[in-house]
Amino acid sequence: MISSGLCTVQAQRIKDLASIQGIRDNQLIGYGLVVGLPGTGEQSPFTEQSFRTMLNNFGISMDPNVSPKIKNVAAVAVSATLPPFTKPGQTIDITVSSIGSAASLKGGTLLQTYLKGADGKVYALAQGSLVVGGFGAQGLDGSKVVINTPTVGRIPNGALVEREIATSLTHGDHLTFNLHRSDFTTAKRMADVINQLVGPNSATAIDATSVKVIAPRDPGQRVSYIATLENLEFVPADAPAKVIVNSRTGTIVIGKDVRLAPSAVTHGGLTVTIAENQQVSQPNPLAGGQTAVTQQSVIDVRQDDSRMFVLDTGTTLDQLVRALNEIGAAPGDLMAILEALKESGALQGELVVI
């Protein structure tokens, strides 16, 4: 499949192209137990240890020589994303994933789990009934059917935030916008549109990613100031000339600024087919021989017709796509042609294979 970038670049808002430095999501993670499973849990050493620790916290002690039967319990990893400015008392969604041999988490309930940040501090408490979209079934002969992933579930609003993460929004006399895609031209254009509204030298492009903007210190004024700036529109720079090739799916995306130097391309294929046929050799009635089965190999070699097309100076994307479609090239053939053009220096753009 060939896709080409032919859309016209339009003005976009700053909020769609950049984010403010210091305002970001934070990842949380925790370890907990899911209980109430219908026999789809696990009997593993770390699950048993966690189960004993939980009972000890409630003042219940078990004989260390007794191994509890806990097929309705599973050890899980709990992960969540804490958005910026989330206050204590608000809730966030969590994802619960089995880390042992549990067959399914369907029907389980997550017990209270501490969710910690990278600094080791607890930022949220998670608990609740899981929503699992997967399904699994196994027969006595070992056959198994699994739909989606039954060992991963979610709990909407399953974690209660206990600690707010501080941001640098109200610190200093400046704000820094970081572009999602680094580009010197885009950074300069962003600084220019801000200066046109606020005043000369209010915004400065530091590098290809960051634009530094003077901002008021008062928090209320700063919020209004940011709301105004993030809705300013400007035309970002065109993307670099690239050809993206996905070798796994056969997808090829060619940027609109890709050009080709004068070149001639031909591409043909050699197909070799080997067929094995079994034949029965029957002796004559009075020969005294035995019937035998023999193998007969048939090898067929076919050379596909090759077609050549010429690419003139400054060949555009439309012409390239049209020429490749005319020769009926398959995705694998297209990848080979593009790689050969790049190696020869005829492809004026970056070839990226993912």
Cα torsion 242, 245, 251, 255 to 10°: value is: 10
The DSSP code sequence of 192-236 is HHHHHHH-TTSEEE-SSSEEEEE--SSHHHHHHHHHHHTT-EE-P
Cα 281 to chain centroid, rounded = 59
What pTM, to 2 d.p., does this model score? 0.68
Query: What's the rounded Cα separation, in Å, for the pair 342 and 307?
Result: 20
Domains of the chain: 10-22+168-234 (3.30.1360), 26-161 (no CATH), 242-353 (no CATH)
Q: Which amino acid is at 70?
A: I
How confident is the model over 314-330, as pLDDT tens digits? 566 566 666 666 666 66
Q: Answer yes or no: are the C-beta atoms of 255 and 338 closer than 8 Å.
A: no
Residue 301, pLDDT > 50, answer no
Residue 271, pLDDT > 50, answer no
300 band by pLDDT with thresholds 50, 70 and 90? low
89-92: list long-range contacts, CB under 8 Å, 24+ apart. 89/160, 89/161, 90/160, 90/161, 91/157, 91/158, 91/159, 91/160, 91/161, 92/124, 92/157, 92/158, 92/159, 92/161
